[in-house]
Amino acid sequence: MTLRIGISARLLHNPPPGLGLPSKRMQFLESGMAQWIMSHGVVALMIPFIDQRAPRLRKRPPLHDLVEQLDGLVLQGGIDISPQTYGAQPWQDKAEYDPIRDEYELELLRGFIDADKPVLGVCRGCQLLNVYFGGTLIQDIPTQWPGAVAHTDTVRYDRLVHEVHFMPGSRLAGIYGYEPRRVTSIHHQCADKLGKGMALEARSPIDLVPEGLRHTGHPFVVGVQWHPEFHLNGGAEDVLDSGPLMMAFLKAAARRAGHLRRLAHEVALVRNRIG
């Protein structure tokens, strides 16, 4: 069967009037993310956000059924995670957050992790993995991480790159080897205290800012700070090929799906014998 990968939605609570829905919340998927996943011969499906506090909601969305129908979860990048989620105060008065998206994605994470299905977090998604397991975040690298190199640039945006080093024995080193690689850098936050079971997978070699994380208690729960979907096949800036990372994620999804199908077949055989 073709693998089906769920992608968390980005939320736009106040869309510009020109989009034709000035007072409606919108959900969207960055096209590069869909292309990155589906170019490997699988189906990518954005998982809609359903406001469970809406007055006309007839039934609670069936999270268990949703997780059961999908083989893995990819968490998109986006707006900063609310510091209240990990028990901190905002680093500045005008900082912007989306606690609604936080709650939505944390519930998705719970469903996929409880089912032991693979999860891949990108940028914000990497940070959310750390928060889910009880970790905290550096809210602003330029002001809170002394000696940090530039990790974000409003002018160069996805053309800002720097090297990452993969940690010895890490899952990412197993995918890419130990040679330093160049990646996109579009983040001003990163992991601080690691969550329970989380391990450092990659870091920036000059300032040691965390660039990749993994949970050691699950077959594939991995987060990266860079945007693999922005540099397919290496890209023009000679950055890390995103293909091997996606293939490792999909192989984990295929193994899990095969295991579940075998279990279902065995249960069916037992029921037939009993019947």
Whole-angstrom Cα distance, residue 234 to residue 246? 13
CA distance 210 to 241: 19
Examine the residue annotation and report whether 229 is marked as an active-site residue of this protein: yes
Task: Given the residues 105, 201, 211, 229, select the one marked as catalytic.
Answer: 229
Strand 10-12 and strand 26-28: the pairing is antiparallel
Contact 125, 76 (CB under 8 A): yes
DSSP classification of residue 79: S
Q: Decide if 123 is catalytic.
A: yes
Q: Does 107 participate in catalysis according to the annotation?
A: no
Provide the b/e sequence for 144-178 (b: ≥16 CB within 10 Å).
ebeebbebeeeeeebebbbbbbbbeebbbbeebee
Catalytic residue among 165, 188, 227, 231: 227
Residue of 167, 215, 192 lying closest to 86 (CA atoms):
192
- Give residue for tokens 């096949």: 233
Closest CA to 73 of 34, 121, 106, 32: 121
Return d(Cα 227, Cα 209) in angstroms, integer. 16
Q: What is the DSSP letter of 232?
A: G
Say how far apart CA 190 and CA 116 lie, in whole Å.
Answer: 25
Q: How far apart are CA 210 and CA 206, in angstroms?
A: 11
Q: Which member of 105, 123, 187, 231 is catalytic? A: 123
Query: What residues are annotated to the active site?
Result: 123, 227, 229
